[in-house]
Chain A
Amino acid sequence: MILTGAQILWECLVREGVDTVFGYPGGAILPAYDAMLDFPVRHVLVRHEQGAAHMADGYARASGKVGVAIATSGPGATNLTTGIATAMLDSIPTVFITGQVPSQVLGTDAFQETDVTGITLPITKHNTLVTDVKDIARSVREAFAIAKNGRPGPVLVDICKDAQQAKAEFEWPEELDLPGLMTTRAPRAGDLEKARELIERAERPLILAGHGVLESGSCEVLRAFVDRTQIPVALTLLGLGGFPPSHPLCLGMMGMHGEAYVNSAIQRADLLLAFGMRFDDRVTGNLKTYAPHSKKVHVEIDPSEIGKNVKVDVQLNADLRAVLEALLPAVAPKRHEAWITEITTGRAETRARDILHQAPEGKLYAAHVINDLWEATEGGAVVVTDVGQHQMWEAQYYRHEKPRTLITSGGLGTMGFALPAAIGAKIARPEAEVWVMAGDGGFQMTSCEMATLRQENLDIKIAVVNNGYLGMVRQWQEFFYDKRYAATPMLSPDFVMLAAAYGIAGHRVTRRAEIAPAVQAARASGQAALFDFRVEKEESVYPMVPAGADLHAMIRRPGKPEEEVPV
């Protein structure tokens, strides 16, 4: 079958199971756009290519499938880069297709030419420049294989315009020729045995569950493992949803804004079982004083993460699920009552400090908003956050029982992520109740995508947690820069009117009593809605481990006695 390069591209995408792409047309990708009309693919027209990248990312995070974004050369491609880097840092399987200037003029600074494979080299798992129509099918096929393989990530295929226009015999490459593709090893018996021995001997063990729990589909086997071994679980930000907070052994989030008793438990543990997490600086604090009394077992699919930040005693470079399935029958049932009591006594103190349990004095706190939203949605929504204070409060107050219900930019911390990623999530899972949760700052970075939301007629609810500041930066200025609020007070548009301009119903909420009725009315409407929650302006996220400080050296909410957390 003789096809144009553009037709081959879509033929391959359809064969890879792609039903939706997010993109923006332009000169160098026009042949592909023209051919697209003849293929059963939904195209979502974005308002800025960064939105397309985040939508593909949100689509992938919500569904587990590969997300696809498409853009033209030059500025189209460079606009994707923030979204590509976001997907890279959080290991999200995504494929980016960019048009490139014709191969004859490559390297001549032709109109809208940029070295896209050069620019994206360090922020993709792999990328390819295609100059010949004969290479399109293989490159697209390889892109999907690489994006999904092992630790997932973004792959970019940059296709010259003349290659899209040229014709060639279409052949679907059944066999992959990728000798360098990493193979996932089975866990080694010797290492499994070492891990089992450490688990048997441990008196103060703790599981650190990360994104790998979700990516490897290990939620159920993890739960069985915890029930059998009675080892409590602390979660990373991207691990939330991997283990249910309703479980008595779920401690919640660890790290910079984790609860004090969780971090304290890490510092006092004698065994850490790191399951699909990478000891990021936001979860370890000062590495020199991190978890000094513990042996460490690291189960991680990416060998380059093992021993990168923390020295480990047992390394299992394998798929987490395979490891847990092998360990489960091997470990003896155990109880750790004294240890669990020791950890959970800290919970009462944390509850007492919690803003939710203090007299509100008529004030509206973000914690109220998120807690009441959690109740109103019965904990069942897919919440897509932006980055900053509201993101940490969401992690603290919205209790995610199920995997893939929290979608958030963890590694890169990309403001402007929430709205476009939510559009991707809603398209991937139309039956899900999808909420955007964003600050007033980050929301304005990509608020143009409200037009995309409207054009696609999506029922997405948007919660803007509006405090008139770039809140997290203001908090750092309050704590570490003598309250010198350089460039953090922010004037915003009237979000209700802005939403109305896009044809979206807006509601302003200033009192706690208004939250639940307003939310329920909007949920019943079946239409998109935006909430402008006017929350306390100078509230901070507590507790907090200052960057680079010891994990147990937390800043606690003032007004309560400053207690040093015992280590």
Chain B
Amino acid sequence: MKHTLVARVQDQPGVLNRVASLFRRRAFNIESLTVGGSESPEFSRMTIVVDTARAPVHVVAANLRKLVPVVEVSDVTDLPTVTRDLALIRVRCGSGERSEISDLVAIFRGRLVDVGPESVIVEVTGDQEKVDGLVELLRPRGILEMVRTGKVAMVRGISAGNGNGNGHRGQPGQGE
């Protein structure tokens, strides 16, 4: 089963390495990992999708929390969340097909952000299913190149605690 963990970490050199090393060492399977800024310049935020076939999610979360620069870990899998994945997709596209692709992409609220003689770059943002859907529709036309950010997540206002990251327990590990 896949779980989504959100971690608030101190913005220090080597933090990502510590997290990656932990997952490697414990043979935890990372599906995706994103890291970026947060509301505070001192902290970064990681969204980690982990496959928990090897270890229960609370053990993964507790190990993550034990890293000294990791301040808070929440398992948001079963919480109402907004999740987003961003993709840039270079699709083979002759000049006659541009409007067709543009219309298709618009249905997914994506847009063309670059046009070349033989290809276009499509930008799309949304939850993973939506992005997957567009990718599958574009695939027959020839995807020349693609980059995806991986999932980022935030708990919806109705269940978020104190607005501080995800606001949930600072210390997981009891299978709560």
Residues of chain A at the chain B interface (Cβ within 8 Å): 117-118, 121-122, 125-126, 146, 178-183, 185, 302-304, 306-308, 315, 317
Docked-complex contact B171 and A303, CB < 8 angstroms: yes
Q: For residue B59, which residues in chain A have a CB less than 8 angstroms away from its CB?
A: 304, 306-308
Docked-complex contact A121 and B58, CB < 8 angstroms: no
Take A180-B70, A307-B59 as given contacts and tell me if A185 and B14 are in contact as well, using a CB distance cutoff of 8 Å. no
Within 8 A of A (CB), among B10-53: 10, 14, 17-18, 21-22, 25
Q: Is there a chain A Cβ closer than 8 Å to B115's Cβ?
A: no
A-B contact pairs, 12 of them (CB 8 A): A118-B17, A121-B17, A126-B68, A178-B68, A180-B67, A183-B170, A303-B58, A303-B65, A304-B62, A307-B59, A308-B59, A317-B173
Query: Shortest beta-carbon distance, B74 to chain A, in Å?
Result: 14
Q: For residue B68, which residues in chain A have a CB less than 8 angstroms away from its CB?
A: 125-126, 146, 178, 180-181
Q: Is there a chain A Cβ closer than 8 Å to B156's Cβ?
A: no
Query: Shortest beta-carbon distance, A179 to chain B, in Å?
Result: 5
Partner of B71, one of A118, A179, A303: A179
Q: Is there a chain A Cβ closer than 8 Å to B109's Cβ?
A: no
Docked-complex contact B174 and A315, CB < 8 angstroms: yes
Q: For residue B172, which residues in chain A have a CB less than 8 angstroms away from its CB?
A: 303
Compute how far the CA of A303 lies from the CA of B62 in the bound complex, rounded to whole angstroms.
Answer: 6
Partner of B66, one of A117, A179, A182, A183: A182
Compute how far the CA of A317 lies from the CA of B170 in the bound complex, rounded to whole angstroms.
Answer: 14
Q: Is there a chain A Cβ closer than 8 Å to B56's Cβ?
A: yes
Partner of B21, one of A121, A302, A307, A315: A121
Q: Closest chain A residue to B172 by CB distance? A: A303
Partner of B14, one of A117, A125, A146, A307: A117
Q: For residue A125, which residues in chain B have a CB less than 8 angstroms away from its CB?
A: 68
Compute how far the CA of A122 lies from the CA of B63 in the bound complex, rounded to whole angstroms.
Answer: 12
Q: Closest chain A residue to B68 by CB distance? A: A126
Q: For residue B67, which residues in chain A have a CB less than 8 angstroms away from its CB?
A: 126, 180
Q: Is there a chain A Cβ closer than 8 Å to B144's Cβ?
A: no
Take A302-B66, A304-B59, A304-B63 as given contacts and tell me if A179 and B10 are in contact as well, using a CB distance cutoff of 8 Å. yes
Q: For residue B10, which residues in chain A have a CB less than 8 angstroms away from its CB?
A: 179-180
Compute how far the CA of A181 lies from the CA of B175 in the bound complex, rounded to whole angstroms.
Answer: 20
What 6 A-B pairs come out closest when comparing CB atoms?
A303-B173, A304-B62, A303-B62, A126-B68, A304-B63, A180-B71
Compute how far the CA of A126 lies from the CA of B65 in the bound complex, rounded to whole angstroms.
Answer: 13
Partner of B18, one of A121, A181, A182: A121
Q: For residue A121, which residues in chain B have a CB less than 8 angstroms away from its CB?
A: 17-18, 21
Take A302-B66, A303-B62, A308-B55 as given contacts and tell me if A183 and B171 are in contact as well, using a CB distance cutoff of 8 Å. yes
Q: Is there a chain A Cβ closer than 8 Å to B126's Cβ?
A: no
Q: For residue B174, which residues in chain A have a CB less than 8 angstroms away from its CB?
A: 303, 306, 315, 317
Docked-complex contact B66 and A304, CB < 8 angstroms: yes
Q: For residue A182, which residues in chain B have a CB less than 8 angstroms away from its CB?
A: 65-66, 171
Compute how far the CA of A146 lies from the CA of B70 in the bound complex, rounded to whole angstroms.
Answer: 13
B side interface size, CB within 8 A:
27
Q: Closest chain A residue to B14 by CB distance? A: A117
Query: Shortest beta-carbon distance, A401 to chain B, in Å?
Result: 34
Take A181-B68, A303-B65 as given contacts and tell me if A122 and B171 are in contact as well, using a CB distance cutoff of 8 Å. no
Residues of chain B at the chain A interface (Cβ within 8 Å): 9-10, 14, 17-18, 21-22, 25, 55-56, 58-59, 62-63, 65-71, 170-175
* Further pairs besides A146-B68, A180-B68, A182-B66: 11, Cβ < 8 Å: A122-B22, A180-B10, A180-B71, A181-B68, A182-B65, A183-B171, A303-B171, A303-B172, A304-B63, A304-B66, A306-B174
Partner of B173, one of A146, A181, A306: A306
Query: Shortest beta-carbon distance, B3 to chain A, in Å?
Result: 14
Docked-complex contact B56 and A307, CB < 8 angstroms: yes
Query: Shortest beta-carbon distance, B106 to chain A, in Å?
Result: 44
Q: Closest chain A residue to B20 by CB distance? A: A121
Residue among B9, B55, B63, B68 facing the most chain A CB atoms (10 A cut-off): B68
Query: Shortest beta-carbon distance, A286 to chain B, in Å?
Result: 19
Q: For residue B21, which residues in chain A have a CB less than 8 angstroms away from its CB?
A: 121-122
Residue among A117, A146, A183, A307 facing the most chain B CB atoms (10 A cut-off): A307
Compute how far the CA of A301 lies from the CA of B173 in the bound complex, rounded to whole angstroms.
Answer: 11
Compute how far the CA of A146 lies from the CA of B68 in the bound complex, rounded to whole angstroms.
Answer: 8
Q: Closest chain A residue to B56 by CB distance? A: A307
Q: For residue A302, which residues in chain B have a CB less than 8 angstroms away from its CB?
A: 62, 66
Q: Closest chain A residue to B9 by CB distance? A: A180
Q: For residue A118, which residues in chain B have a CB less than 8 angstroms away from its CB?
A: 17
Docked-complex contact A185 and B175, CB < 8 angstroms: no
Docked-complex contact A185 and B171, CB < 8 angstroms: yes
Query: Shortest beta-carbon distance, A447 to chain B, in Å?
Result: 33
Residue among A126, A178, A182, A185 facing the most chain B CB atoms (10 A cut-off): A182
Compute how far the CA of A307 lies from the CA of B172 in the bound complex, rounded to whole angstroms.
Answer: 12
Query: Shortest beta-carbon distance, A476 to chain B, in Å?
Result: 26
Query: Shortest beta-carbon distance, A136 to chain B, in Å?
Result: 16
Query: Shortest beta-carbon distance, B20 to chain A, in Å?
Result: 10
Q: For residue B17, which residues in chain A have a CB less than 8 angstroms away from its CB?
A: 118, 121
Residue among B14, B59, B66, B69 facing the most chain A CB atoms (10 A cut-off): B66
Compute how far the CA of A303 lies from the CA of B67 in the bound complex, rounded to whole angstroms.
Answer: 13
Q: For residue A304, which residues in chain B have a CB less than 8 angstroms away from its CB?
A: 59, 62-63, 65-66, 173
Compute how far the CA of A159 lies from the CA of B8 in the bound complex, rounded to whole angstroms.
Answer: 27
Compute how far the CA of A317 lies from the CA of B174 in the bound complex, rounded to whole angstroms.
Answer: 7
Query: Shortest beta-carbon distance, B29 to chain A, in Å?
Result: 16
Compute how far the CA of A126 lies from the CA of B172 in the bound complex, rounded to whole angstroms.
Answer: 19
Q: For residue A181, which residues in chain B have a CB less than 8 angstroms away from its CB?
A: 68
Q: For residue B170, which residues in chain A have a CB less than 8 angstroms away from its CB?
A: 183
Q: For residue B65, which residues in chain A have a CB less than 8 angstroms away from its CB?
A: 180, 182, 303-304
Q: For residue A180, which residues in chain B have a CB less than 8 angstroms away from its CB?
A: 9-10, 65, 67-71
Q: For residue A185, which residues in chain B have a CB less than 8 angstroms away from its CB?
A: 171
Compute how far the CA of A146 lies from the CA of B67 in the bound complex, rounded to whole angstroms.
Answer: 11
Q: Closest chain A residue to B60 by CB distance? A: A304
Compute how far the CA of A303 lies from the CA of B18 in the bound complex, rounded to whole angstroms.
Answer: 19
Query: Shortest beta-carbon distance, A107 to chain B, in Å?
Result: 13
Compute how far the CA of A148 lies from the CA of B21 in the bound complex, rounded to whole angstroms.
Answer: 23
Q: For residue B22, which residues in chain A have a CB less than 8 angstroms away from its CB?
A: 122
Q: For residue A117, which residues in chain B have a CB less than 8 angstroms away from its CB?
A: 14
Q: For residue A179, which residues in chain B have a CB less than 8 angstroms away from its CB?
A: 10, 71
Take A307-B175, A308-B59, A315-B174 as given contacts and tell me if A122 and B25 are in contact as well, using a CB distance cutoff of 8 Å. yes
Query: Shortest beta-carbon distance, B110 to chain A, in Å?
Result: 38
Q: For residue B171, which residues in chain A have a CB less than 8 angstroms away from its CB?
A: 182-183, 185, 303
Q: Closest chain A residue to B55 by CB distance? A: A308
Q: For residue A303, which residues in chain B have a CB less than 8 angstroms away from its CB?
A: 58, 62, 65, 171-174
Q: For residue B58, which residues in chain A have a CB less than 8 angstroms away from its CB?
A: 303, 306-307
